[in-house]
Amino acid sequence: MTKAKLFVFDTNILISAFILPHSTARKALNKARKNGVIIISPESADEFTEVFIRPKFDKYLPLEIRLEIIDDFISLACLVKPVIEIAECRDPKMINFLN
């Protein structure tokens, strides 16, 4: 039996993928969707939502569309709660993606 490939994306990559349809980030996201399972923790989902609804992204997509993207992405991704907790990282903002 072959195990599914798991993919994790940080908030910056997700936002780039959704606002720039021809970006490398979008290509990576599309490839992950095609070849495996995208996983996201509740904390990462919260961060993605909190950042993507900021008014600075209004110039790229209306809030209503961004809210739809958020809902679609979170329902598409596999929500996981990691069992190992990492307390330290060179970049403290990345702990959400490691835990």
Bridge partners (DSSP) listed for residue 38: 7
Average pLDDT, the chain: 88
State whether residue 38 is helix, strand or coil. strand
Q: In angstroms, rounded to a whole number, what is the distance separating the alpha carbons of residues 83 and 9?
A: 19
Q: The tokens of 45 are what? A: 């989902």
Average pLDDT score over residue span 73-83: 88
pLDDT tops 80 at residue 30: yes
Which one, of 25, 42, 26, lies nearest residue 77 by Cα? 42
pTM higher than 0.85 for the full model? no
Structural contact between residues 79 and 42, judged by C-beta atoms closer than 8 angstroms: yes
Residue 29 pLDDT > 60, yes or no? Answer: yes
Residue 45 CA to chain centroid, in angstroms? 7
